[in-house]
Amino acid sequence: MFFSFSYDPYIAVIGDIKNSRNIKNRGEVQKKLNGVLEEVNERYAEDLSSKFVITLGDEFQGLLCRGANTMQIIFEIERRMYPVKIRFGIGVGRITTDVIKEMSIGADGPGYYRARNAVEFLKADEKKNRTDPADIRLELDEENLASQIMINTVLSLMTVIKESWSDRQREIIWDMMEHQDSQANAAKRLNIRQPAVQKSLSKGNYYAYKGAFETLGKALEEIERRDV
């Protein structure tokens, strides 16, 4: 057991585009983000209490009723929006306002407070000019502080691995993460040889990254509202 809750928690996710003011084609990026979020809302409809929606030009949010696919949702948004980089704040807790399925705007409560605090923590960490600051952070209540520390340590290490990837390594690793099949199939899709796939996976620490990703998925799977 990773978590202990005396109530049914929601999982609030806030995404914030990095350096959005410096993006020249902001309108195109926002249009692309809107399309990506629409696909996520459709694919993960059963996981969502409120659909993902853009709240500001450079920010979006959604509300999950179960945690099993949280990392997968973030991965899909991150992959589809690249090279635009996004920081993600995940907050677990109560929602004190009405929950509207079609949009998460207007919802409030500890879950969203924690997601917001997570985003602000990441922003502050980036300003300290640390090497490879994390781009995903989870915040929980005090009863689950030890699990919060452990998960955020794993997320930080995953960022270190991600930031070491070359463009080719990222292309191959993301293909493997998306399709979850063999190196031979990845080589066919990318029109390269299998040894090249193997070399990139090894140098990019793919199996360590994948193991951490799956472990976090299993941990967050414990979070699920009983009224779903």
> Over the stretch 28-44, which tens digit does the pLDDT of each residue have?
999 999 999 999 999 99
Q: Are 26 and 42 in contact (CB under 8 A)?
A: no
d(CA 154, CA 214): 11
d(CA 171, CA 79): 10
User: pLDDT for 155-213, tens place per residue?
Assistant: 999 999 999 999 999 999 999 999 999 999 999 999 999 999 999 999 999 999 999 99
Q: At residue 75, what is the residue type?
A: F
Considering just the CA atoms, what is the radius of gyration of the chain in Å?
Answer: 18
Whether pLDDT at 82 is above 70: yes
d(CA 16, CA 205): 27
From edge to edge, which strands make up the β-sheet containing 136-139?
48-56, 59-64, 10-17, 86-93, 136-139
Confidence category of residue 26, pLDDT binned at 50, 70, 90: confident
Confidence category of residue 106, pLDDT binned at 50, 70, 90: confident
- Other beta carbons less than 10 A from residue 214's beta carbon: 11
**How much helix, strand and coil, in percent to the nearest 5, is found in the chain?**
55, 15, 30
d(CA 152, CA 221): 16
d(CA 23, CA 48): 30
